[in-house]
Amino acid sequence: MRNCKNCGSTYFSNSESCPICGSKETVNGDQYSKANIPASSATIDISAEETE
């Protein structure tokens, strides 16, 4: 369980940012998980190819 320093909410999550306010500051000594990033940070490049 994590507590947000910015808005004070308590939540269960492995995300590096608060799901309520988006702040990246948490308390209780939790470390940020590098495996989880917000979906808005990820981009996918798609290119179309013509087939015969």
Question: Domain residue spans in the chain?
Answer: 1-32
- Tens-level pLDDT at each residue, the chain (52 residues): 788 888 888 888 777 788 888 887 766 544 444 456 666 676 777 888 888 7
* Euclidean distance between CA atoms 19 and 34, whole angstroms: 16
- Sign of the torsion formed by the C-alpha atoms of 19, 25, 30 and 31: positive
Instruction: Please report the pLDDT score of residue 30 as a whole number.
Output: 46
pLDDT of residue 18: 85
| pLDDT for res 35 | 52
Q: Which pLDDT does position 27 carry in this prediction?
A: 60
pLDDT at residue number 28: 56
Q: How far is CA 5 from the centre of its chain?
A: 16
pLDDT at 6: 84
